[in-house]
Amino acid sequence: MEEMTEKATFGAGCFWGVEATFRDLDGVIDAAAGYEGGHTDNPTYKDVCTDHTGHAEVVQVEYDPSKISYEKLLDVFWTLHDPTQVNRQGPDVGTQYRSVIFFHTAEQEETARESKMRLETSGRYARAIATQIEPARTFYRAEEYHQQYLAKHGLRHCHV
């Protein structure tokens, strides 16, 4: 029997740590670092770092919804970064580091918007949630050296 998988795409700052966290979740089949949401085709890391392509560093997650829910993925997403930051996470600054959820279905859009609203009204943050929620566009897989970067370098996280 073939596994039924779905995709979820999240931008939460530098994609190295985001990819590693999602990859470790039970029910996640794959997590790939890449670029999405911009206006140029086939961007490279160098292109995206110019802050002129409009792309965000994202992680596209392939998951088995019978083992992990989209809601659980969203819960993890919110804990990975500060969603009140605009175009930055920690020392990383630029539109490529924006907080964004790219939804693949109408159900994902509704679930993401409800999740964001719950977080906004929870009182957890003093500032407004800056996370954008947008339809998924073309996902461009990042260069191979970015895939599983932390694992390849024997690191557990990339925060200073």
Annotated catalytic sites, by residue?
A: 14
Q: Which runs of consecutive H residues, i.e. helices, occur in the chain?
A: 15-23, 45-48, 70-79, 106-121, 149-152
Nearest to 98 by CA among 87, 83, 110: 87
Query: In the sheet where 140-141 sits, what is the strand order?
Result: 132-135, 99-103, 6-12, 56-63, 28-36, 140-141
Give the Cα separation of 70 and 145 in Å (integer): 28
Bridge partner list, 88: 93
